[in-house]
Structure 1
Amino acid sequence: MTRAALLALACTWAGCKLQPAVPDRPATVPAEAVWRGGAEGGAWIHCEPALRCTVWQEDGSVAQRGRFVRGGGGTGAALPEGWSGDAILLEGGGQLLPDGWHEFPPDLRVRYEHGEPVEKKAR
C-alpha cells in the first residue's frame, strides 16, 4: 500500500479532513490576495482597507469588483473565509455585503444597497 493510501485510510478512521492544495497563483492575482476554497473550487480574495474588494476565479479572471459593507453579525477581524457569488463570507461569522455598483466581468454591472441588488446593466 502506498504512503498516500495509508494516510487517506488513517484520516478516514480518525475523521480528519484533507485540505485541498492552494492552486498556483495566476499572474493577474496580486500577492496580497488570499485563496479560499475547497475540493469543488474557490476564489482569490483581496480587500483594501476601505473595503474595496476584488474576487478572482481560480484561473485569475475577475469574478467581482466593488465596495462592500460589513453585515450579518459575526465577531473578530474581517478575514475572508469564502465567496458566495456576491458576498464575501468572513471567519467568525458575518459577511461583507456588496454596496454600490459592482462589476461582474465580462459584461454585467449590478448596483446593490447593503447586499440587495437594485439595478442591473449589461454592457
Structure 2
Amino acid sequence: MKPFLKKSLIGIVVGISILALAFLFLLRQFSKPYDPKDIVPPERAAGIPADHEWIGGPDGGTWIHCKPEKEYKEFRCSVYGESGELYAKGLYLPSRPVVPPYELMHGGMGRIILKDQQQGLMVEIKAEGWIEYADGTSLYKDGEPVDGP
C-alpha cells in the first residue's frame, strides 16, 4: 500500500472514531431522564400572587393557580408567564370528572393539564367563557378562542 493512501485511511478511521465518540457522548448527555425535582423555579416576578405554583421544565414554564368549585366540576384558574404577564384568568371546565387530590402538570392560555393522583390519569381543563389576559379579554369555548358571543 502506498504511504499516502495508508495515511489517508488512518486519518479517516481516526476521524470516524472521534465523531462516533462525540455522538455517544451527546447521546448520553441528552438522554438523561427528566426529573421535575431537578427544576428550580425562576425568581417570582412582581405581580405573581404567592399562591401560584411554578409548572415548568428546563426550557421555561408558567405560574398557575386553580381553585376548584362546585365539587371539582369547575375551576377558577389564573396563569402567569415567567416575567409576570397575565396569560389567562377565568373559568376552566374539566374534560372528565376530577378526583382529588390532583397535581398541576402543564398550563397555557386555553388549557391546563392536571394529574389525578388517585387514578394516575391526566385530566385536561379547558377555558370556557370570557378569559382575561394582559391586553384584554377573549371569549373561549372548549379551550379555544371564538369570535364574538
What's the TM-score once normalised by structure 1's chain length? 0.72
1:83 aligns with 2:100: no
Amino acid at match of 1:37: G
Amino acid at match of 1:54: S
**Distance in 2 between residues matched to 1:88 and 1:61, nearest whole Å:** 17
Give runs of aligned pairs for residues 50-61 of structure 1, distance below 5 A: 50=69, 51-61=75-85
Deviation at 1:60, TM superposition (A): 1.2
Deviations 1:12-56 (A, max 9, x none): 5x9443532111112311221100001111000012233111100
Give runs of aligned pairs for residues 32-51 of structure 1, distance below 5 A: 32-50=51-69, 51=75
**1:90·1:96 contact (CA, 8 Å) conserved in 2?**
yes
**Distance in 1 between residues matched to 2:105 and 2:32, nearest whole Å:** 22
1:97 aligns with 2:116: no
**Distance in 1 between residues matched to 2:91 and 2:53, nearest whole Å:** 18
**1:75·1:93 contact (CA, 8 Å) conserved in 2?**
no
CA 1:27 to 1:84, structure 2 compared with 1: closer, same or farther past 3 Å? closer
Higher helix share: 2
Amino acid at match of 1:111: L
**Distance in 2 between residues matched to 1:120 and 1:22, nearest whole Å:** 37
Structure 2: which 5+ runs fail to align? Answer: 1-27, 70-74, 116-120
Structure 1 vs Structure 2 CA RMSD:
2.9
Identity %: 28
Tell me the number of residue pairs that the alignment of Structure 1 and Structure 2 aligns.
111
**Distance in 1 between residues matched to 2:52 and 2:139, nearest whole Å:** 24
What's the TM-score once normalised by structure 2's chain length? 0.61
Q: Which runs of 4+ in 1 moved over 6 A?
A: none
Structure 1: which 5+ runs fail to align? Answer: 1-10
Give runs of aligned pairs for residues 1-123 of structure 1, distance below 5 A: 12=29, 15-17=32-34, 19-50=38-69, 51-71=75-95, 76-91=100-115, 92-107=121-136, 109-119=137-147
Amino acid at match of 1:39: P
Describe the SS at the equivalent of 1:48: strand
Deviation at 1:120, TM superposition (A): 5.3
Describe the SS at the equivalent of 1:22: coil
